[in-house]
Amino acid sequence: MMQVSIITLNQVQNSIAQIEKIVGQNWMEDWVHNIRDNHGRSNQDNIPLLASWWLKASDELGYSQLTGSFVVSESTLRLVRLVSDLQTLVNTTGFNSQLPFLKKDKKSFFHLCCRLNTAAEYVRQGAELTLFTGIDEPDFVLHKPEELAVAVTVPTITNTNQLTSILPPALSASLNRLPNRSGIIFIDLPLPPAYTPGEWISIIKSTLTENTIMPSGVQVYITITYIGNCGTELKIIRNRL
């Protein structure tokens, strides 16, 4: 299953405006000032990732409008996708509980992005669902076509050698968030530069099957996000284990 988002300049402009509207102009302005001074540049870990994405997208938008050259970063592609997912889910039960996570730390924010994108894709296909926080509970519950709890996880991996030690605990923790340990789990992992999406999915599958006893009654999907089409396209592959 592949999801492809081709980004336009108008989408970037709209996404910048929508995010500022959602989080508040004052909040965004405060963080923009923080990022632009020396303190902000030397303490990136303390800055909400959304603020960094928003500022980079704004800078890239200005450059594109000035030069006529449309070049955007991965973070801007992800920002546009995030806004699209928010717009898709705006009428979904539990939507308002998601908004505070936009301002959270990097780990919480990435978890939110994965939750929203996965849920939005179900909604685009006609599903009905309820969103949750993913903290000691599912990320969302599907109601149609059948009642299923869904958990997403975004493990932090800095090199491929960590797969064996990180993936099994991440899978186990996600399983514990599902009622009766039954439902669907999505594991979202970045694509290393040295691998194609197919190669990376094969490595992940091998690591999980060799080091984990897969539970019955659970569907497990691997999610890979990467850039295509000369940097203006965000591709997402979801592959069932």
Contacts of 147 (CB under 8 A, 6+ apart): 141
In this predicted structure, the answer to whether residue 176 has a pLDDT above a threshold of 80 is yes
Of these ranges, 6-15, 42-51, 171-180, the one predicted with the greatest mean pLDDT is 171-180
CB 163 within 8 A of CB 204: yes
pLDDT tens-place string over residues 92-108: 999 999 999 999 999 99
pLDDT grade for 158, boundaries at 50, 70 and 90? confident
pLDDT tens-place string over residues 105-148: 999 999 999 999 999 999 999 999 999 999 999 999 999 778 99
In this predicted structure, the answer to whether residue 10 has a pLDDT above a threshold of 70 is yes
Label residues 51-64 b or e (16+ Cβ within 10 Å = b). Answer: bbbbbbbbebbeeb
- pTM for the whole structure: 0.92
Cβ-based neighbour number of residue 241 at 10 Å: 17
Q: Output the pLDDT for position 132.
A: 98
Q: Output the pLDDT for position 211.
A: 82
Q: Output the pLDDT for position 230.
A: 63
Backbone dihedral region for residue 183 (phi beyond 0: left; psi -120 to 50: alpha; all else: beta): left
pLDDT grade for 161, boundaries at 50, 70 and 90? confident
Q: Higher-confidence residue: 231 or 136?
A: 136
Q: Span 218-236, mean pLDDT?
A: 83
Q: Output the pLDDT for position 212.
A: 80
Q: Higher-confidence residue: 44 or 83?
A: 83
Q: Span 181-203, mean pLDDT?
A: 91
Q: Output the pLDDT for position 2.
A: 56
Q: Span 67-90, mean pLDDT?
A: 92
SS (H, E, C) 87-124: HHHCCCECHHHHHHHHHCCHHHHHHHHHHHHHHHHHHH
Q: Output the pLDDT for position 25.
A: 93
Cβ-based neighbour number of residue 23 at 10 Å: 19
Q: Output the pLDDT for position 6.
A: 65
In this predicted structure, the answer to whether residue 18 has a pLDDT above a threshold of 90 is yes
Q: Higher-confidence residue: 174 or 36?
A: 174
CB 89 within 8 A of CB 120: yes
pLDDT grade for 51, boundaries at 50, 70 and 90? very high
The rounded distance, in Å, linking the Cα atoms of 98 and 35 is 24
